[in-house]
Structure formats: structure tokens, C-alpha cells
Amino acid sequence: MPFGYVSPEQVMKDRADYARKGIARGRSVLVTTYVDGILFVAENPSSALHKVSEIYDRIAFAAVGKYNEFENLRQAGVRIADLRGYSYDRTDVTGRMLANTYAQVLGTIFTTESKPYEVEITVAEVGETAVGDQLYRLTYDGSVADEQSYVAMGGNAEAVSSRMQQDHRDGMALGEALALGVAALSTADGEQRTLTAAQLEVAVLDRQRPRRKFRRLLDAQLEQLLSS
């Protein structure tokens, strides 16, 4: 065996450990369904660096990890969606198509580049009815999971998922879903913190809106919803 040989299995393991550690340092993001669409709640005090963004008419993107890396992915997704919608039809741009494209990109980076992307992302598409809502979770190695009802990402994902599993139900109103999401994100190491509107980034894919379904909820709206 040559000196310094490292097995492919060990290389992949080291890359996976490296990516997971980077993701775990990030503040959590929650994506969950509610009666009129899909809600995004992120712990993010920055008003300029977004973790949640619109991709296309019915599709949005949420991410944790290294900002510059998931911002590159977001921009690529917007370009791909615009090109496909222009070349064919707007209805041909789907969350599944974008999730598969991101999976290929992340998988290639993980196996061929010297450093994997330290990111975890969710691609969400709102349907005409709740049955058509889609949540796709993608990890650093290109793995894709078709999730139901909610997705939690980031360093506190396990605790957030546990709270959501306990209290989430289908058909929640926006205010109820937001309150649950904030309560879930506030759970850290078994202790309950208090997150204010200024510490949150919140957006929705609202199926009741005309063509473009994405909108952000500003501080005043958040405070009103949380107080009610």
C-alpha cells in the first residue's frame, strides 16, 4: 500500500463530516405547511442576507450553511427556472425539476471537488390545493428527500423537528403555524429562548395570491400575527 494512501470510503466520510459540522454551526430554518400554503421561518437577524428567497411563480428556496455557497445555488436556480419558463412554458418549471437539478450539482461537487458545499436546502412548491404542496430537502451530498408537512434544517434541526412532530397538524391558520414555528425554533438544548420579530426572517408561498405566490412578512405583520 503506497505511503499516504487514503481509501475512497474515508475520503467520503471526511467530506461528509466536514459538511455536517459547517451546517451545524448555522441557525435553524423551518419550512412548514399551513392552510393557505407554505410558511418559511428562519432565525436570521440580518435584513440583507436572506436565507429564504423566491425562485419562480410557485417555488421558493430556503437554506442553511455558508451564505456564499447557497446564494450561488439560489442564483443558478433562478436562471434555470427563467430559461425553462421562457423556452417552454411557465408550468414546466416545477419544484421537482429544480430539486433534481440541485441534487446533480451538489452530488458532483461532493464527489469531485476538494471541498463539499456546507449547505442544506429546501425547495418548496405550493399547489392549487394542499394536496399539491411539495417540499424537497437536499443535503450537501446531493441526497433528496420528499418531505411531508414540515422540514427543519440547521444546527438545532433535531429539536425543532421534535417540537413540530409533537404539535403540527394539517390545516393550521397562518398565525397558528407561525406561533408554532417560532416556538420550535426557540427550543435550544432543551431550553426555551425568546425570539423577537427582529430576529426572524419569515415568508410564505400563498396559494390565494395571483401568479407570483411568494411574499415576505415584515416586522409589523409578524408582531401582529404573533400577538394574536
**53: CATH:** 3.60.20.10
Structure confidence at residue 189 (pLDDT): 58
User: What does pTM read for this prediction?
Assistant: 0.93
Question: Does residue 1 sit within a domain?
Answer: no
Q: Cell for 165?
A: 412532530
- Which amino acid, 225? L
88 SS3 class? coil
pLDDT by residue for the chain (228 residues), tens only, comes to 455 677 888 889 999 999 999 999 888 999 999 999 999 999 998 888 999 999 999 999 999 999 999 999 999 999 999 999 999 999 999 999 999 999 999 999 999 998 999 999 999 999 999 999 999 999 999 999 999 999 999 988 999 999 999 999 999 999 999 999 999 999 865 667 888 888 999 999 999 999 999 999 988 888 888 887
Three-class DSSP category at 186: coil
Q: What is the pLDDT of residue 1?
A: 45
> Which residue segment(s) compose the domain that 188 sits in?
8-227
What pLDDT shows up at residue 51?
96
Domain count, the chain: 1
Q: Is residue 156, in this structure, part of any structural domain at all?
A: yes
Q: What is the largest CA-CA distance in the chain?
A: 67
Distance between CA 21 and CA 19 in Å, rounded?
5
| Structural domain contains residue 2 | no
In a domain, 3, yes or no: no
Q: Is residue 49 part of a domain?
A: yes
Residue 172: its pLDDT value, please? 95
Query: Looking up cell 416545477, which residue turns up?
Result: 94
d(CA 28, CA 195): 12
Find cell 435550544 and name the residue: 188
Phi, psi of 143 (to 5 degrees): -70, 140
Q: Which DSSP string corresponds to 124-182? A: EE--SSGGG-EEEEE-TTS-EEEESSEEEESTTHHHHHHHHHHH--TT--HHHHHHHHH
Write the CA distances from 56 to 61, 73, 125, 149, 211, integer angstroms: 10, 14, 9, 21, 10
pLDDT at position 2 is 53
